[in-house]
């Protein structure tokens, strides 16, 4: 009996070691193959053969070039003009602005998810971990004593946006990336003790 318990224990330990690594590599491989396949027709036409990884290099170089040109004084008015045209299209402007705001929240100069907080949800003291995204001076007729908090779901990419009174929010003294990892893992990822700044 003890032998079989040991076998099951080692089997589970093997799963814990292999599955996260395998899934991570699998996701990376899927993304790599997809991005690399975008330039395959061009490679075949120009070179007559395919070079693995060339699509990724071309895409990375293209993004660096666009980022560089977009940051220069010459191209900023052009980008502003394109955005102005997009903002005049009824449905397209909503999709564009939502995607742009979401990307800006994670990368760039206007990162939003960098202020982790604990939100008291009810009088029993139930708290949820989230990220403060706006406070004071909001355009949505929200009172000055309220704040906007994004509450991510565990094991997913979605979340809830709530508006709560400022006194219901306590800041967490932890790096935002560690807190996000803690939430997305369902609280099983080890981080330093999550505590508020009181």
Q: Is residue 197 part of a domain?
A: no
125 plus 171 within the same structural domain: yes
Residue 16 shares a structural domain with residue 65: yes
Nearest CA to 59 among 32, 35, 34?
Answer: 35
- The answer to whether residue 5 is domain-embedded is yes
pTM of the predicted model as reported, rounded to 2 decimal places: 0.48
Q: What is the pLDDT of residue 196?
A: 46
- Is the same domain home to 37 and 64? yes
Same domain, 158 and 124: yes
Same domain (yes/no): 20, 65: yes
Task: Note the pLDDT tens digit of each residue in 3-47.
Answer: 878 888 888 878 777 877 787 788 778 878 887 777 777 777 777
Query: Residue 117 in contact with residue 172, Cβ under 8 Å?
Result: yes
Considering the domain architecture, whether residues 4 and 50 belong to the same structural domain is answered as yes
**Do 91 and 126 reside in the same domain of the chain?**
no
| Sequence-separated (6 or more) residues with CB below 8 Å from residue 112 | 104, 105, 106, 131, 133, 150
Give the separation between CA 180 and CA 105, rounded to whole angstroms. 13
Query: What is the count of structural domains for the chain?
Result: 3
Residues 65 and 126 in one domain: no
Residue at 139 is within a domain? yes
Q: Over the stretch 161-186, which tens digit does the pLDDT of each residue have?
A: 788 888 888 888 888 878 877 777 77
Whether 65 and 25 map to the same domain: the answer is: yes
Is residue 198 pLDDT above 60, yes or no?
no
Q: Could you tell me if 58 and 9 lie in one domain?
A: yes
> How do residues 134-165 score in pLDDT, each as one tens digit?
776 555 555 667 888 888 877 666 778 788 88
Answer positive or negative: Cα dihedral of 124, 126, 127, 128: negative
28 is in which domain, residue-wise?
1-71
**Domain annotation covers residue 189:** no
How many residues would you count in the chain? 198
Backbone phi and psi for residue 28, each to the nearest 5 degrees, phi listed first: -60, -45
What is d(CA 41, CA 169) in angstroms, rounded to the nearest whole number? 53
């Amino acid at each position: 009996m003890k032998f079989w318990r040991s076998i099951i224990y080692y089997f589970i330990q093997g799963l814990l070691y292999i599955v996260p690594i395998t899934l991570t590599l699998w996701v990376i491989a899927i993304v790599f193959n997809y991005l690399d396949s975008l330039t395959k027709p061009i490679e075949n036409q120009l070179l007559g053969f395919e070079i693995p990884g060339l699509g990724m290099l071309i895409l990375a170089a293209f993004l660096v070039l666009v980022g560089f040109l977009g940051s220069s004084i010459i191209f900023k008015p052009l980008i502003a003009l394109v955005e102005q045209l997009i903002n005049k299209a009824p449905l397209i402007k909503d999709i564009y602005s939502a995607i742009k705001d979401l990307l800006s929240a994670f990368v760039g100069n206007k990162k939003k998810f960098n202020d982790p907080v604990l939100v008291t949800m009810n009088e029993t003291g139930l708290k949820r971990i989230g990220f403060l995204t706006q406070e004071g001076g909001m355009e949505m007729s929200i009172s000055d004593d309220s704040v906007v908090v994004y509450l991510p779901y565990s094991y997913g990419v979605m979340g809830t946006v709530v508006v709560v009174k400022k006194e219901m929010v306590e800041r967490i003294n932890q790096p935002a990336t560690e807190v996000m990892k803690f939430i997305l893992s369902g609280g099983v990822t080890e981080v330093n003790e999550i505590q508020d700044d009181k």
